[in-house]
Amino acid sequence: MDVELAEISGSETFLHVRNRDIAMVLHLPGVHDYDVDEKISIYVPTHKLYVFDHSQKLIQSARRIRG
């Protein structure tokens, strides 16, 4: 992914990233310093995702994992 913007808000960072197929905004706990156009790898915990279609209908919700 390519970093488009890293927004620091208090003790959190909102990281805007993009590749040729997808754009995402990542909410990271803590203050992180990234450069614009920096190439990074991200790993998505798919069991924590909420996914919506183009009409904003929920098509997948986060699963609770009990341990």
pTM of this prediction?
Answer: 0.70
Contacts of 50 (CB under 8 A, 6+ apart): 58, 60, 61, 62
CA-CA distance, 31 to 40, in Å (whole number)? Answer: 16
In tens, the pLDDT along 11-61 reads 999 999 999 999 999 999 999 999 999 999 999 888 888 889 999 999 988
Gap between the Cα atoms of 5 and 35, Å rounded = 8
| 3-class secondary structure, 12 | strand
Q: Is 19 helix (H, G, I), strand (E, B) or coil?
A: coil
Query: According to the model, what pLDDT value does residue 66 have?
Result: 62
